[in-house]
């Protein structure tokens, strides 16, 4: 009896690192992680705002330097490419402004999403917080930067009197999909890049290549009868469901179908990976 008591006491004082959690147990742990992040939304907002302040500490214009550079790029590229593509500047400039601002958000999100967990190494090892909070922090931070750059779009609309019509309300479903996908991308890339440090350069190369093939600086109808190929480009379809309503149009059913399919695949892959490796992230960074 005494030996049994000593054996139970020894087991009680031993850290159990058995990695054989069932599939259902991993799902529960992942859901608990997400629930804790929702409860800590104020902390998430504070950390994201602190990131913005620290990034532009000592600067006179702060994040508006990025807004100014975006405005200069839109103005200069708009004139040059309107001449090259033989398009009306009044029609092309709003398209280019929207494309560059929205793509700036996507590109920055993917680059920073790769570092979701590695840049938070000190906090992860010293404070117990849900891992999904770090992904939400990246999303909120980039949304704040996007909000500053929206000034460029509004300025172009006001200058050219090219305000979108009632179809602009259709941007809301697209924005909702963007928010979900942004969170999923940060979770997926953050976990993968914590384990494999060669992935960030690969993501950077893919993002750069996608910029040129996703109808950012050129319009989709310039492809002519080959325009249908864009439906197989996830970057284009996700960009178009937000951009088209802001230009006074509506995305095609094929674009919506493609965007929803790619979003579902992204969220499924992100969730399965997160639930699987969540307990290992602290050991990888």
Give the pair of three-digit tokens for residue 82.
Answer: 């309107």
The residue-averaged pLDDT of 158-167 equals 80
- Average pLDDT for residues 111-135, to the nearest whole number? 88
Reference 217, options 68, 66, 105, 78; nearest CA is 78
pLDDT band at 15 (very low <50, low <70, confident <90, very high): very low
The per-residue pLDDT for 168 is 83
Q: Greater confidence, 261 or 57?
A: 261
Per-residue pLDDT for 285 more than 90? no
Rounded to whole angstroms, the Cα distance separating 234 from 258 reads: 7
pLDDT value at 277 more than 50: yes
> To the nearest whole percent, how much of the chain has pLDDT over 90?
30
194-242 pLDDT per residue, tens:
888 888 999 999 999 999 988 888 888 888 888 888 888 899 999 999 9
SS3 (DSSP) at 139: helix
pLDDT for residue 102: 92
Note the helical H segments in 114-170: 121-126, 132-160
Q: Are 251 and 244 in contact (CB under 8 A)?
A: yes
Q: In the chain, what percentage of residues exceed pLDDT 70?
A: 91
Average pLDDT over residues 44-57: 85
Tell me, what's the pLDDT at 178?
94
Query: For residue 63, is pLDDT > 70?
Result: no
Asked whether the predicted pLDDT for residue 9 surpasses 50, the reply is: no
Higher per-residue confidence, 200 vs 24:
200
Largest CA-CA distance found in the chain, in angstroms, rounded? 91
Rounded distance between C-alpha atoms, residue 149 and residue 98, angstroms: 10
Residues contacting 19, CB < 8 A, separation 6+: 279
98 near 78, Cβ under 8 Å?
no
Residues 37 and 132 sit within 8 Å (Cβ to Cβ): yes
C-alpha span between 42 and 50 (Å, rounded): 12
Task: Give the orientation angle of helix 199-213 with respect to helix 234-246, to 10 degrees.
Answer: 50
pLDDT score, position 3: 53
pLDDT on residue 222: 82
Query: What's the pTM value of the predicted model, to 2 decimals?
Result: 0.84
- What is the spatial distance between Cα 195 and Cα 277, in angstroms, rounded to a whole number? 10
**CA–CA distances in Å: residue 271 to residues 43, 181, 281:** 23, 11, 14
Q: Tell me 64's DSSP state.
A: H
- Compute the distance between CA of residue 185 and CA of residue 187 in angstroms, rounded to an integer: 5
Q: What is the pLDDT of residues 107-120, one digit of tens each?
A: 999 999 999 998 88
- Contact call for residues 204 and 225 (beta carbons, < 8 A): no
Q: What pLDDT score was predicted for residue 133?
A: 92
Domain ranges of the chain: 25-276
At 11, is the pLDDT very low, low, confident or very high (cuts 50, 70, 90)?
very low
Per-residue pLDDT, 62: 66
Q: Which residue has the higher pLDDT, 227 or 16?
A: 227
**Residue at token pair 């054996």:** 7
Q: Do residues 152 and 246 make contact, with C-beta atoms less than 8 angstroms apart? A: no
The alpha carbon of residue 33 and the mean position of all alpha carbons in its chain are separated, in whole angstroms, by: 19
pLDDT average, residue stretch 75-84: 82
Q: How confident is the model at residue 92 (pLDDT cuts 50, 70, 90)?
A: confident
| Total Cβ atoms within 10 A of residue 225 | 6
Q: What is the mean pLDDT of the chain?
A: 84
pLDDT of residue 181: 94
């Amino acid at each position: 009896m005494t030996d049994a008591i000593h054996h139970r006491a020894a087991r009680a004082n031993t850290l159990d690192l058995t990695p054989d959690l069932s599939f259902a147990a991993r799902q529960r742990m992942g859901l608990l992680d997400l629930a804790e992040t929702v409860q800590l939304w104020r902390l998430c907002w504070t950390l994201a705002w602190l990131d913005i302040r620290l990034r532009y500490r000592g600067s006179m214009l702060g994040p508006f330097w990025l807004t100014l550079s975006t405005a200069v790029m839109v103005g200069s590229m708009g004139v040059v490419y309107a001449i090259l593509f033989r398009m009306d500047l009044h029609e092309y400039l709003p398209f280019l402004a929207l494309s560059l601002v929205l793509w700036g958000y996507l590109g920055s999100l993917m680059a920073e999403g790769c570092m979701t967990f590695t840049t938070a190494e000190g906090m992860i090892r010293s404070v117990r917080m849900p891992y999904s909070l770090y992904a939400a922090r990246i999303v909120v931070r980039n949304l704040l930067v996007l909000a500053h750059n929206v000034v460029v779009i509004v300025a172009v609309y006001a200058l050219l009197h090219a305000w979108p019509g009632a179809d602009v309300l259709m941007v809301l479903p697209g924005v909702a999909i963007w928010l979900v996908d942004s969170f999923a991308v940060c979770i997926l890339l953050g976990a993968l890049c914590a384990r494999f440090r060669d992935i960030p350069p690969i993501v950077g190369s893919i993002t750069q290549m996608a910029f040129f093939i996703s109808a950012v600086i050129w319009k989709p109808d310039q492809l002519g009868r080959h325009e249908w190929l864009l439906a197989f480009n996830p970057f284009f379809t996700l960009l178009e469901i937000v951009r088209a309503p802001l230009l006074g149009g509506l995305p095609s059913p094929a674009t919506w179908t493609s965007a929803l399919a790619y979003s579902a695949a992204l969220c499924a892959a992100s969730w399965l990976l997160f639930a699987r490796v969540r307990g290992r992230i602290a050991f990888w960074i």
